[in-house]
Amino acid sequence: MITQASERVETRPMDQEADLFQINAIDHVELWVGNAKQSAYYWKYWGFAPVAYSGLETGNRRNASYVLEQNKIRLVLSTAYSPHDEMAAHHLLHGDGVKVIALEVDDAELAYRESTSRGAKGVLAPTETRDDFGRIRISAIQAYGQTLLKFVDRSDYQGNFLPGYKTLPPDPTVKPVGLAAIDHIVGNVELGKMNYWVNWFHQALGFRQIVHYDDKTIHTEYSALMSKVMGNGNGRIKFPINEPAEGRKKSQIEEYLDYYIGPGVQHLALITGDIIGTVRELKARGLEFLRVPNAYYDSLPDRVGKIKESYDDIAELGILADRDDEGYLLQIFSRPIQDRPTMFLEVIQRRGARGFGVGNFKALFESLEIEQAKRGNL
Ligand code: FE2
């Protein structure tokens, strides 16, 4: 059986009063990796420039961290010096992956107090650090798996990242590709745990479910998953949560959970204003994307209708398209960005649509299963 869910984005005006505390943006995403120095070179292909560094040379005896930026996207890559460090143990278990999703808030103390008083587990009580550029306040709570949600208040800080980081000189080898901001961050959780985390985001952060899938389960012939999207009041933070569903064979979500050894971030979706230009450049640099069967493009103009881009370009580059009540979106998914089949990236362009491309799920999952089968994991 192949069924296809449809999606409806919540159109009720998002009133900020519903939020328990003000969240302005995604401040940064930190990945704990095996070799941060070399990973930083990989991310240069994606157009990210190293802008700040912390490590032995700056007095950090524990770990090396590189801060990378492209427009409003800020990533941090960290590796421990000691095998006894928590960071090293995390890497041994999970491989490369997202450890921290940091949210820029007006008040890190309030965010911590509100979320922990509503059941979130505190990991870092509100802490203030200072340097010549001012003061930063940070707190953190535990999210799915070993992933942390950090709250960062940088309103009294003029430095370029955090105290303890030194600014790096501009890197002339980095050429941006037009990736502008993080659109959404998707988490994979265990079978039966999706609603737990949907409720957790509602309880702890005041988030609401912003996308309703009429058919909660998305099937292909072999595998299935369920997904719900949680978002904050101003609509800037969108966290879809997936769980595997029963299917004839192993779902892509189970494959992730098996290789990440538990729940974690499945993909970061990076938004661009020109997906044709961005993807053409990324492919020219050798980055690898999933490709749906060519038959997908035969019916695409009928399904999606008139668009500003050329369908020839879209088919040539392997970009996917979907339409909802408000417009359309274009998207493409990378192959996993580390050896384990865990995290990947999405490049997305929105032309009005606020959904997540549910019309592409079936074609996409079938392509993912071809890759899973190649890995012996279907
Ligand atoms: Fe996505």
Q: What is the pLDDT of residue 213?
A: 72
For the chain, helix (H) and strand (E) counts, in that order, are 9, 19
Question: What is the whole-number distance in angstroms between the Cα of residue 68 and the centre of ligand 1?
Answer: 21
Q: Model confidence over 208-244: pLDDT tens digits? A: 998 877 656 677 777 778 889 999 988 899 999 999 9
What's the gap in Å between 142 CA and the centre of ligand 1? 22
Q: What dihedral do alpha carbons 100, 206, 135, 102 form, nearest 10°? A: 20
Distance (angstroms) between ligand 1 centre and the Cα of 52 equals 28
Residue 15 scores a pLDDT above 60: no
pLDDT digits 0-9 by tens, 39-59: 999 999 999 999 999 999 999
* Cβ(120)–Cβ(200) below 8 Å: yes
Ligand 1: centre distance to CA 84 (Å): 35
292 Cβ neighbours under 8 A, 6+ residues apart: 318, 320, 360, 363, 364, 366, 367
Which phi and psi angles does 241 have, rounded to 5°? -125, 125
pLDDT(367) > 80: yes
- Segment 6-14 mean pLDDT: 58
Distance CA 28, CA 148 (A): 12
Torsion of CA 19, 22, 28, 29, to 10 degrees: -20
**Structure confidence by residue, pLDDT tens digits, 135-188:** 999 999 999 999 999 999 999 999 999 999 999 999 999 999 999 999 999 999
CATH 3.10.180.10 fits 23-167, yes or no: yes
**Within 10 A of 305 (CB to CB), how many other CB atoms are there?**
10
- Across the range 291-295, mean pLDDT stands at 89
C-alpha span between 187 and 198 (Å, rounded):
11
Please report where in the chains the tokens 């890559």 appear, as a residue.
77
Backbone region of residue 46 per phi and psi (left: phi > 0; alpha: psi in -120 to 50; beta: other values): alpha
pLDDT tens string 330-342? 999 999 999 999 9
Helix (H) or strand (E) holding 364: helix 361-374
Q: What is the DSSP string of 104-133?
A: EES-HHHHHHHHHHTTPPEEEEEEEEEETT
- Sequence-ordered alpha helix ranges (H) in 14-123: 36-45, 86-94, 108-117
**In Å, how far are 194, 222, 230, 257, 335 from 244, measured between CA atoms?**
9, 12, 18, 9, 20
Q: What are phi and psi of 316, to 5 degrees?
A: -60, -40
pLDDT tens column, 234-285:
889 999 999 998 777 788 899 999 999 999 999 999 999 999 999 999 999 9
Tokens 């427009």 found at: 71
- For 357, the token pair is 């491309």
Q: How far apart are CA 362 and CA 6, in angstroms?
A: 11
> DSSP letter at 165?
P
How is the chain split into domains, by residue range?
Answer: 23-167, 179-375
The pLDDT score that the predictor gives to residue 344 is 98
Pick the CATH number of 179-375 from 3.30.450.40, 3.40.50.720, 3.10.180.10, 1.20.1250.20: 3.10.180.10
CA angle, residues 246, 242, 202, in degrees to nearest 5: 125
Do 179-375 and 23-167 fall under one CATH topology? yes
Q: What is the pLDDT of residues 128-150, one digit of tens each?
A: 999 999 999 999 999 999 999 99
- Expressed in angstroms and rounded, the spacing between residue 268 Cα and the centre of ligand 1 is 7
The residue among 341, 199, 354, 325 whose CA lies nearest residue 264 is 341
Q: For 85-94, what is each residue's pLDDT tens digit? A: 999 999 999 9
Task: Give the integer Cα–Cα distance in Å for 284 and 278.
Answer: 10
Q: If you measure from the C-alpha of residue 358 to the centroid of ligand 1, how many angstroms do you get, rounded to a whole number?
A: 10
Ligand 1 center to 218 CA (angstroms): 14
- Name the percent of the chain lying above pLDDT 90: 79
- Ligand 1 centroid to Cα of residue 186, in Å, is 6
Q: Ligand 1 centre from 223 Cα, in Å?
A: 18
Mean pLDDT of the chain: 92
